[in-house]
Chain A
Amino acid sequence: MINDMLSYFADAANWAGDTGIPARLGEHLWYSFLAVVAALIIAFPLGVFIGHTGVGKVFLVSASNVLRALPSLGIMTLLVLLMGIGLLPPLAALVLIAIPPILAGVYAGVANVDPEVVDAARAIGMKDSRIILQVELPLALPLILGGLRGAILQVIATATIAAYVNLGGLGRYIFDGLAVYDYGQVLVGAVLVTGLALVLDGLLAVLVKVFSPARLAIAR
């Protein structure tokens, strides 16, 4: 099995064309990117609103937990049956799993800003919009990035389900391999997904670190 995987990687033919490894990696990243951006558009403003005003905290916690509990493959299958095959069902399933960590990160980041800092900002005449943009969000950045990091990892790991229907991505290797009991090929998909997740996580970890000192500097 390991040997099958290695020889798959070694075969130049598997690296070329629109079904080659780079193309599949590209598709995988593209689906993941779309899902994370869509999740940001939904979850970011919501998280800021709830964090800033404190309105709907209970709703956030319960809704977020419900979303986390949803099985992605089940959601996607349901959507495929409702909408037919295409990019939308897997994307929607990925957006749903990306929302909770982003929402939690943004909300927690904004809500946990020291109230004295917010009061001080208000005292020098800042309006709510400026408080959010110039005080709360910069202070919340590490937690926001942490949430984003979690979301990206989950999406990368789960984007394999896109291959359940007629799409590409690294899941193609897993579903196609399983279909013909070619476990070497399954392993190719698994290793690539794992590698991609680790590399991205490393990059994001650096990013989060880079922004942490800024927070400390401002907080002092």
Chain B
Amino acid sequence: MRLLKLPLIAAFSVVTGSLILSGCSDPTAAPSPTDEAGSTTLMVSSANFPESEIIGNLYAEALKAKGYSVETKFNIGSREAYIPALADGSIDLIPDYTGNLLLFIDPAADVSSPESILSALPKALEDKGLSMFTPAAAEDKDAVVVTRATAEKWNLKTIEDLAAHNAEVTMAGPPEFKDRPVGLPGLEKNYGFVPSKFEPISDGGGPATVKALVDGKVTAANIFTTSTAIPANDLVVLEDPKNNFPAQQVVPVAAKDKVDEGAQQVIDAISAKLSTEELIKLNEQVSGEAKIEPKQAAITWLTDQDLLGK
């Protein structure tokens, strides 16, 4: 996801991110260099939105429980900020999303299927001096979402099914959805889906978009798959069999040779259990009514998944 995130926040975070980075790229402030005794302090980081911070906390807390020396520096900004930070050693480990990460490194990359992304990504990262671990099944990507009532009325399973009702469909999404290749142009090319009207709402698939969909002001909306609004409002995510939206699996990205094999196994064990449903639940705890601290939500989840055992 985050291809379609709030532009203002994006612009702002690039600025703040680079400010913070200019501070932490100071060599004296950088974490101590790797040594073979394994006494390295790992700097675990996250992008500037709650879900990333939750996953960053999962990594950090699990590593701590296994006896690793861990420091955290969360919310450092967008990809423009944290990829260079990984490369220069200011941070060592951060969660990212496969499709957008690949497109960030190589805008011309083939992202037409999850497999093509996963085969190209390791090489692309290596060229940048970075490495990735096993991606999780959890995926936070763009989706076309309708209400349960609409899905049942028209018997909808895929976006193609929705295209049969083009004339009756209005769609809400962030303004960029209208022009981005994966937005309306892609949906038209792949499925012949052309809504009769597009309603731009600049909250990145947030509450105003959800409200418009639930109130019936629009028939369909562009909402992210890990949005807590989907289970909360019993919304239906339409299948995307032609992969119009690039796969966005959660993937741990590390500075090369900074994270040893044991630590990698700890992280891989998290990825193995992290499904989209689990990620939605974690988001719900942090961003929903409960407002649990990301760190606390991470510890609870890791305990429940039996990942904190010594």
Cβ-closest chain A residue relative to B208? A80
Partner-contacting stretch, out of A109-117, A159-167, A195-203: A159-167
CA distance in complex: A181, B211 (Å): 26
Residue contact A179 to B211, C-beta cutoff 8 Å = no
Tell whether A85 pairs with B211 under 8 Å between CB atoms, given A180-B180, A181-B7: yes
Closest beta carbon of chain A to B41's beta carbon, Å:
36
Can you report 27 A-B residue pairs in the complex whose CB atoms are below 8 A from each other?
A77-B203, A80-B208, A81-B208, A81-B211, A84-B215, A84-B217, A85-B199, A85-B201, A85-B211, A85-B217, A164-B202, A164-B203, A165-B201, A165-B202, A165-B208, A166-B201, A166-B212, A175-B7, A175-B202, A176-B175, A176-B178, A178-B11, A179-B7, A179-B202, A180-B7, A181-B7, A181-B11
Q: Hey, which chain B residues are within 8 Å of A178, CB to CB?
A: 7-8, 11
CA distance in complex: A81, B212 (Å): 9
Interface residues of B (CB under 8 A from A): 7-8, 11, 172, 174-176, 178-180, 199-203, 207-208, 211-212, 215, 217
Closest beta carbon of chain B to A14's beta carbon, Å:
14
CA distance in complex: A163, B175 (Å): 10
Q: Hey, which chain A residues are within 8 Å of B203, CB to CB?
A: 77, 164
- A166-188 vs B, CB cutoff 8 Å, 1 = contact: the mask equals 10000010011011110000000
Residue contact B212 to A179, C-beta cutoff 8 Å = no
Closest beta carbon of chain B to A138's beta carbon, Å:
46
Cβ-closest chain B residue relative to A77? B208
CA distance in complex: A99, B201 (Å): 27
Q: Given known contacts A84-B215, A85-B201, A164-B201, what 19 new A-B pairs fall within 8 Å (CB)?
A: A77-B203, A77-B208, A80-B211, A84-B212, A85-B199, A85-B211, A86-B217, A163-B202, A164-B202, A165-B201, A165-B208, A166-B199, A166-B212, A172-B200, A176-B200, A178-B11, A179-B176, A180-B7, A180-B180
Q: Hey, which chain A residues are within 8 Å of B7, CB to CB?
A: 175, 178-181
Residue in B11, B172, B201, B215 whose Cβ sees the most chain A Cβ within 10 Å:
B201
Residue in A77, A84, A164, A165 whose Cβ sees the most chain B Cβ within 10 Å:
A165
| Size bracket, chain A contacts | 10 to 19
Residue contact B179 to A81, C-beta cutoff 8 Å = no
- A78-111 vs B, CB cutoff 8 Å, 1 = contact: the mask equals 0011001110000000000000000000000000
Tell whether A85 pairs with B200 under 8 Å between CB atoms, given A166-B172, A179-B174, A180-B180: no
Q: Hey, which chain B residues are within 8 Å of A81, CB to CB?
A: 207-208, 211
Q: Hey, which chain B residues are within 8 Å of A86, CB to CB?
A: 217
Closest beta carbon of chain B to A18's beta carbon, Å:
12
Residue contact A175 to B175, C-beta cutoff 8 Å = yes
Q: Hey, which chain A residues are within 8 Å of B212, CB to CB?
A: 84-85, 166
Residue in B172, B200, B207 whose Cβ sees the most chain A Cβ within 10 Å:
B200
Q: Hey, which chain B residues are within 8 Å of A84, CB to CB?
A: 211-212, 215, 217
Tell whether A180 pairs with B179 under 8 Å between CB atoms, given A84-B217, A85-B199, A166-B201: yes
